[in-house]
Amino acid sequence: MEVVVAGAGIVGVATAIWCQRAGHRVTLVDRAGPAAGTSHGNAGVLAAGGLIPVSTPGLARRAPVMLADPDAPLFLRWGYLPRLLPFLRRYLGYGTAAHLAHYAEAMHRLLGDAHAQHMDLAQGTGAERFVSAADYAFGYADHAARRAEDAAWATRDRYGVRFEDRAGDAYDDPVWRGRFGHVVVCRDHGSVTDPGAYVAALFDHFRAEGGAFRRADIRNVAMHDGACTALDTSDGLVSGDAVVLCLGPWSAPMARKLGAARLSFESERGYHLDLVGASLRPRDSMMVAAGKFAVTPMEGRVRAAGIVEFGGLVAPASPKPFALLHRQLCALLPDLTWSEAREWMGHRPAPADSLPLIGPAAPGSWLAFGHQHVGLTAGPKTGRIVAEMIGGERAARDWAAFDPMRHSRRPPGRRP
Ligand SMILES: Cc1cc2nc3c(=O)[nH]c(=O)nc-3n(C[C@H](O)[C@H](O)[C@H](O)COP(=O)(O)OP(=O)(O)OC[C@H]3O[C@@H](n4cnc5c(N)ncnc54)[C@H](O)[C@@H]3O)c2cc1C
């Protein structure tokens, strides 16, 4: 088949490679190039135990307090609130114990073997040098702060995520000695030492294997008799037998046209500071629990990345999240120095129920986006699932929790 993949982030590039390996002719379309979006700036954690969404029971109560606290990792561009409200109502509505259980069950299947999935994708491409098996630690101020997250750890435990609790002093990375009262070390995780370069290396492999690339702005999807036949781009129509939409945070308007009409979706803006020439180098990624940011050793630099801000896709980065990252990092590691600090803001693609959309939409089209905080982790497996669905080896019902039409089907008998 001729497969057209829209978007060259980790999800699109992985989809393109798995479709290529299945024997299809593949064209990848992006307005910039590989990893021009969110896949460039993430924290590089292969979060196999990422089974807890942001919207959890009690968030509706905690959020106003956090927004009033300049040291809390939640920000809102207030002028955006009127547009945000319909999403926010649904997003907070999913903060129930029942949805958390449903989410953890579904995401465990998608994330649990992340390191192996990355190796399956990257082995032999040259990109494997960016992937390593690693622990992922969570640093808490004290034992009480750890206990406040008991429910989350119990959920991870239920799904077989291996972790060990330690007193802070017993965590043996000298960078963090004396910095936390309590540390939880997750086993069987992984790390990507330069997420942008990793996706670019995968892209180069795709091209070297004969994959086509069109640099063009995708303006719409082209439909004929209810089926999707092409992408309508600044460079003309790009048509194929199968069109896969992997535009990350920019996917929603076209996804709605392809059938996900009632999709409620937003950008969860996130921030990073890249400290080039950092004087301290942690061994593994560390999630600083109080600040909700991860500190990851990367090639030639250390990256602090995290924070959630609601403010839409258009507004520029806000200064306060950068200042908070900087303040918290310096308070935690007062001896840390660096030669250059690079700032970046990106958009996590966030459906209201936090579950990605993976599967068939209008005839001839597939959706693969909405991986919010764990898209790097889940990208390779998502690409594989979509390629299997396109090839008919995998039924969409196997991954029903991610059915793109889950919000948009009307109950039988209901009039439109
Ligand atoms: C601060 C931060 C930290 C994170 N940390 C982690 C982490 O440690 N681990 C993890 O697993 N995940 C993490 N994430 C989440 C992860 O980065 C995302 O979920 C993932 O990158 C999404 O990938 P994607 O391919 O869906 O989208 P993207 O990478 O955004 O790719 C979308 C592509 O579509 C292209 N595009 C968009 N619109 C158009 C158009 N109209 N025409 C043509 N091209 C278009 C863009 O140029 C882009 O290349 C983090 C995110 C942030 C913000």
CA of 10 to the centre of ligand 1 (A): 7
Alpha carbons 67 and 228: distance in angstroms, whole number: 42
Structure confidence by residue, pLDDT tens digits, 175-201: 999 999 999 999 999 999 999 999 999
Alpha carbons 388 and 393: distance in angstroms, whole number: 5
Q: Is the CB of 38 under 6 A from ligand 1?
A: yes
CA of 385 to the centre of ligand 1 (A): 18
For every residue of 210-260, DSSP letters joined together read: T-EEEE--EEEEEEETTEEEEEEETTEEEE-SEEEE--GGG-HHHHHHTT-
CB 214 within 8 A of CB 235: yes
- Site to substitute for ligand 1 among 348, 354, 358, most atoms within 8 A of C-beta: 348
Confidence check: pLDDT of 415 > 60: no
Determine the atom of ligand 1 nearest the C-alpha atom of 32: 47
End-to-end CA gap in the chain = 34
Q: Is the CB of 48 under 6 A from ligand 1?
A: no
Provide mean pLDDT across the span 153-158.
98
Q: Is the CB of 9 under 6 A from ligand 1?
A: yes
Determine the atom of ligand 1 nearest the C-alpha atom of 219: 41
pLDDT classification of 416: cutoffs 50, 70, 90: very low
CB 48 within 8 A of CB 131: no
Q: Is the CB of 374 under 6 A from ligand 1?
A: yes
pTM higher than 0.95: yes
Question: What is the pLDDT, as a whole number, of residue 396?
Answer: 83
CA of 403 to the centre of ligand 1 (A): 20
pLDDT classification of 60: cutoffs 50, 70, 90: very high
- Site to substitute for ligand 1 among 250, 284, 345, most atoms within 8 A of C-beta: 250
**How many residues in total does the chain contain?**
416
- Site to substitute for ligand 1 among 39, 45, 118, 231, most atoms within 8 A of C-beta: 39
Confidence check: pLDDT of 411 > 70: no
Q: Is the CB of 193 under 6 A from ligand 1?
A: no
Q: Is the CB of 377 under 6 A from ligand 1?
A: yes
CB 15 within 8 A of CB 386: yes
Confidence check: pLDDT of 407 > 90: no
Which CATH superfamily hosts domain 2-402? FAD/NAD(P)-binding domain (3.50.50.60)
CB 292 within 8 A of CB 305: no
Question: What is the pLDDT, as a whole number, of residue 107?
Answer: 98
Q: Is the CB of 30 under 6 A from ligand 1?
A: yes
Provide mean pLDDT across the span 274-290.
97
Structure confidence by residue, pLDDT tens digits, 26-57: 999 999 999 999 999 999 999 999 999 999 99
Nearest CA to ligand 1 atom 12: 374
Structure confidence by residue, pLDDT tens digits, 73-83: 999 999 999 99
pLDDT classification of 394: cutoffs 50, 70, 90: confident
CA of 346 to the centre of ligand 1 (A): 8
CA of 159 to the centre of ligand 1 (A): 27
Determine the atom of ligand 1 nearest the C-alpha atom of 271: 1
Contacting residues for 3 by C-beta, under 8 A, at least 6 apart: 16, 19, 24, 25, 26, 27, 240, 241, 242, 243, 244, 390
Q: What percent of the chain has pLDDT over 70?
A: 98
Alpha carbons 154 and 143: distance in angstroms, whole number: 16
Alpha carbons 238 and 187: distance in angstroms, whole number: 44
Structure confidence by residue, pLDDT tens digits, 322-344: 999 999 999 999 999 999 999 99
Q: What rounded mean pLDDT belongs to the chain?
A: 96
Provide mean pLDDT across the span 392-396.
86
For every residue of 298-339, DSSP letters joined together read: ETTEEEEEEEEEE-TTTSPPPHHHHHHHHHHHHHH-TT---S
CA of 32 to the centre of ligand 1 (A): 13
